[in-house]
């Protein structure tokens, strides 16, 4: 008796198209947005979806999240049934070359939400560089991070130390700190890959952009560039003279704890450091940061910062509503939406001035200052493209470099040999060379 009764109850719904959507939703245009549900969760994204619906009553945003969103997206992409937009770790360049992604330039060059100028003009310069190919842009970051040197302003004030403006001043500061019987630098030595961003920052300070991006394009011989060998030499000198004793055996949290406890004065790390160590940072600690200092006489841009967007979103070319999805992303990465992003998730947005007027921690305020003075952002795409090279060649070679077990030249030769093996392997996907990204702007 219960089953027929249930069928009778469901019958009107089935006659209406077996659709459980509320009556008011039936005639709305739906855009589907899939989000990787990681450390930032999806509560903020859902709040933005509801705000977009209030602004556009005829649109429903079906936004969902999953820690394994990649696994759910792959079969849908293969059968040409992707969601409209997504944030995932799918192979970005493969999707571009396969013509699966929708270019976002029309949206980027349209008026921004809640600000003067175009959407593109509201974004931090350089933040789109890693997602551009043949003059078109295929992804939008919703997050902004940077690689900087962290210190305790309270300790610096107590000793009369100043933030260094050049690499030479930085090395003299390290000598002063060591003379005060404090380790100048903590280092996450059990994971030597933490040295990679500092090394690339030094390389960028020494050479012009064409050299830096020749390496990012994996051009033959790029790692044998004398500028790269010089950067490796500077990195090794810093490590051998100023890393905390025992640092090479420490995990990231162990070494960062040494910094929190004042046994080391500085540490290179990303913007996630404050959140990662929030339970260990003592009361009165005034966390601040500075960029990797310029190298005197270097040919690189002294105002550039190793930083970039993260939590990228893409729109699929085969989506049902790619233009609307791009517009939703424009709303999501707008100045107004980014303010709640910063305050709710305690991180930064790629929108210029998004943090203005907000109450930030000393650490986040310092990072905003660093990024506010940057004229270009740059980063590394090799480690994401060639995972085995990164895991098996770069990490081991960095460990030998900072421990003094290999010369800087031999270090560079090992990286070049490893990359040559990548070049020669037809089974490893290699994206087209892109040159200096912002020449396409």
Residue 4: what pLDDT? 40
Per-residue pLDDT of the chain (441 residues; tens, 9 = 90+): 344 444 444 444 443 334 445 555 567 899 999 999 876 789 999 999 999 999 999 999 999 999 999 999 999 999 999 999 999 888 888 888 889 999 999 999 999 999 999 999 999 887 888 788 888 999 999 999 899 999 999 999 999 999 999 999 999 999 999 999 999 999 999 999 999 999 999 999 999 999 999 999 999 999 999 999 999 999 999 999 999 999 999 999 999 999 999 999 999 998 888 878 888 999 999 999 999 999 999 999 999 999 988 889 999 999 999 999 999 999 999 999 999 999 888 789 999 989 989 999 999 999 989 988 888 889 998 987 888 899 899 999 999 999 999 999 999 999 999 999 999 999 887 888 888 876 443
Asked if 247 and 223 touch (Cβ cutoff 8 Å), the reply is no
Under DSSP, the state recorded for 182 is S
Residue 346: what pLDDT? 76
Q: How far apart (Å, rounded) are the C-alpha atoms in residues 109 and 111? A: 7
Residue 25: what pLDDT? 58
The upper half-sphere exposure of residue 3, i.e. CA atoms within 13 Å in the direction of its Cβ, equals 0
Distances (CA, A) of 407 to 148, 196, 399, 412: 26, 16, 12, 9
Residue 130: name the closest of 387, 369, 382, 391 by CA: 382
Under DSSP, the state recorded for 207 is S
pTM of the model: 0.79
Residue 310: what pLDDT? 85
Q: How far apart (Å, rounded) are the C-alpha atoms in residues 41 and 129? A: 26
Buried b (16+ CB within 10 A) or exposed e, 15-35: eeeeeeeeeeeeebeebbbbb
Residue 24: what pLDDT? 55
Q: How far apart (Å, rounded) are the C-alpha atoms in residues 390 and 435? A: 21
**R_g (Cα) of the chain, nearest Å:** 24
């Amino acid at each position: 008796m219960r089953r027929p009764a249930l069928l009778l109850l469901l019958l009107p719904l089935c006659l209406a198209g077996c659709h459980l959507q509320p009556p008011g939703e039936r005639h709305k245009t739906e855009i589907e947005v899939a989000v990787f549900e990681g450390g930032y969760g999806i509560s903020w994204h859902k709040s933005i979806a509801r705000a977009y619906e209030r602004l556009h009553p005829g649109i429903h945003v079906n936004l969902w999240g999953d820690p394994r969103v990649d696994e759910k997206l792959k079969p849908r992409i293969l059968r040409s049934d992707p969601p409209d937009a997504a944030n995932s770790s799918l192979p970005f360049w493969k999707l571009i070359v396969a013509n699966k992604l929708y270019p976002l330039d029309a949206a980027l060059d349209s008026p921004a939400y809640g600000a003067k100028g175009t959407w593109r003009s509201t974004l931090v310069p350089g933040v789109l560089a890693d997602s551009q190919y043949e003059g078109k842009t295929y992804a939008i970051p919703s997050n902004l991070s940077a690689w900087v040197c962290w210190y305790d302003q309270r300790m610096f004030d107590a000793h009369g130390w100043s933030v260094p403006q050049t690499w030479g001043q930085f090395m003299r500061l390290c000598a002063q700190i060591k003379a005060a019987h404090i380790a100048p630098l903590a280092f996450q030595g059990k994971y030597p890959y933490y040295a990679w961003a500092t090394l690339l920052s030094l390389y960028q300070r020494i050479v012009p952009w064409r050299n830096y991006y020749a390496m990012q394009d994996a051009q033959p011989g790029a790692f044998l560039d004398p500028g790269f060998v010089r950067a490796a030499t500077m990195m090794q000198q810093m490590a051998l003279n100023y890393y905390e004793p025992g640092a090479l055996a420490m995990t990231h949290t162990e070494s960062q704890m040494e910094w929190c406890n004042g046994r080391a004065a500085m540490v290179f790390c990303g913007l996630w450091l404050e959140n990662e160590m929030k339970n260990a940072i003592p009361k009165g600690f005034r966390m601040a940061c500075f960029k990797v200092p310029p190298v005197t006489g270097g040919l690189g841009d002294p105002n550039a910062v190793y930083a970039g967007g993260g939590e990228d979103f893409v729109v699929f070319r085969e989506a049902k509503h790619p233009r609307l999805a791009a517009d939703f992303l424009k709303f999501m990465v707008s100045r107004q939406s980014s303010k709640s992003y910063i305050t709710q998730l305690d991180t930064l947005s790629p929108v210029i001035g998004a943090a203005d007027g907000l109450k930030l921690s000393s650490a986040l305020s310092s990072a905003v200052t660093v990024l506010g003075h940057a004229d270009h952002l740059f980063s590394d795409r090799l480690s994401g493209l060639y995972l085995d090279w990164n895991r098996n060649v770069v990490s081991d070679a960095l460990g030998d470099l900072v421990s003094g077990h290999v010369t800087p030249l031999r270090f560079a030769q090992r990286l070049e040999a490893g990359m040559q093996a990548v070049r020669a392997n037809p089974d490893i996907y290699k994206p087209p060379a892109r040159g200096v990204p912002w020449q396409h702007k």
